[in-house]
Amino acid sequence: MDIETLPPPPRLTANPAPKRPANSVRRTTSIDVSWPDGIEGQRLFAGAARDVFTPADGGAPRVVAQGSYRARLREDKTITQISAEPEPEGLQKLVGARAGGHLRMLLGEVMPDLIARTHPLYLVLDDLSGSALVSAFAWSQWYPDWAEKLRERMGEEEHARMMTQRVNVCWGLQEGNSGVRGEGPPQNVADAEAGDVRNPADPHGWHALSDHEGPGFRRARRIDVVRDEAEGVLRIDSAFQDSAAKPDGGRIAIHEYLLRATADIETLELLSIEPEARILPFSECPGAIANTQRLVGRKLSDIRNEVLTQLRGPEGCTHLNDALRALADVPELAGELTG
């Protein structure tokens, strides 16, 4: 299909989050990125995560696990400082590493226990790479000539190399698509209001977020898990959003997906996957959804490796893949639920 005949990318948020279901476990995570020392200074990443169980009577939640960290990164994504509460063994071995694809391998090497326990802190550490890649977009809301400034700082040669590296990194940026063609439609998310993930009718529905003044980026996730004994399945409802602060106090969304899935209670095999694109930058991006059906029939415990195998590069969407990989933690979350 020609670019000119493609429908516009989706532009409607699903926020705020729904109220917590009775007899459910909810995981919420966030990474807030700011620039305390200005655009040329190091970025500050504030990560937070929490798991809560909501009893069958819908009463106040019980915190199952929680964690947070603060990290400083240079513009080249090198981690210069990091601290966490609780601090997992091996955390300081991340200092000097770059928040890119190899960081996930390093996490597996230096803190395997955190991963084995599916502690929520692991998810926000794993999200450092994706957040480091996207977060600089936040400056575009404060400086209209941000793209030109970035090109000047990088130099033409380095900027050209970066643009070349984007080609075929994901479904939406396949060769020939609008996101990598100069004559294609511009990337414009100015009309994509992010809303607020927090639901006023459910004050315990989210952990405390790190709000701050000035340019800022946020990656926010939610995963709700419910046991459906009548159908013999786990029902999973999750959401993923990248957003940036605006000078007027609002937020715009850059990427947003909903993801609903079911898994067999006994075998933990994925029975259905229903992704929903809510806000994406390019018209071609929603096409990545079809390939997610390759994961049906896979075990939840294997899903991280299956996503990397089945949906690598232009076979998938980077952000949808991140949402899918988090399904690997569902069995541990479901362990808190009563039958």
Is residue 226 a contact partner of residue 235, using CB atoms and an 8 Å limit? Answer: yes
Q: Which residue has the tokens 């690997």?
A: 328
| pLDDT values of the chain reduced to their tens digit, one per residue, 339 residues | 444 556 778 889 999 999 999 999 999 999 999 999 988 899 999 999 999 999 999 888 999 999 999 999 998 899 999 999 999 999 999 999 999 888 989 999 999 999 888 999 999 999 999 999 899 889 888 887 777 766 676 666 655 555 556 777 888 888 888 777 754 444 444 579 999 999 999 999 999 999 888 999 999 999 999 999 999 999 999 999 999 999 988 999 999 999 999 999 999 999 999 999 999 988 888 999 999 999 999 999 999 999 999 999 999 999 999 999 999 999 999 999 976
DSSP alpha helix (H) spans, the chain: 101-110, 112-116, 120-126, 128-134, 146-154, 156-166, 303-310, 318-325, 330-334
Separation between Cα atoms, residue 26 and residue 101, nearest integer Å: 27
Q: What are phi and psi of 238, to 5 degrees?
A: -135, 165
Separation between Cα atoms, residue 272 and residue 264, nearest integer Å: 10
Is residue 250 a contact partner of residue 230, using CB atoms and an 8 Å limit? Answer: no
Contacts of 309 (CB under 8 A, 6+ apart): none
Is residue 197 a contact partner of residue 220, using CB atoms and an 8 Å limit? Answer: yes
Is residue 31 a contact partner of residue 65, using CB atoms and an 8 Å limit? Answer: no
Radius of gyration of the chain (CA): 20
What pLDDT was estimated at residue 146? Answer: 75
What pLDDT was estimated at residue 160? Answer: 57
Separation between Cα atoms, residue 44 and residue 307, nearest integer Å: 29
What's the pTM value of the predicted model, to 2 decimals? 0.92
Q: Domain residue spans in the chain?
A: 3-334
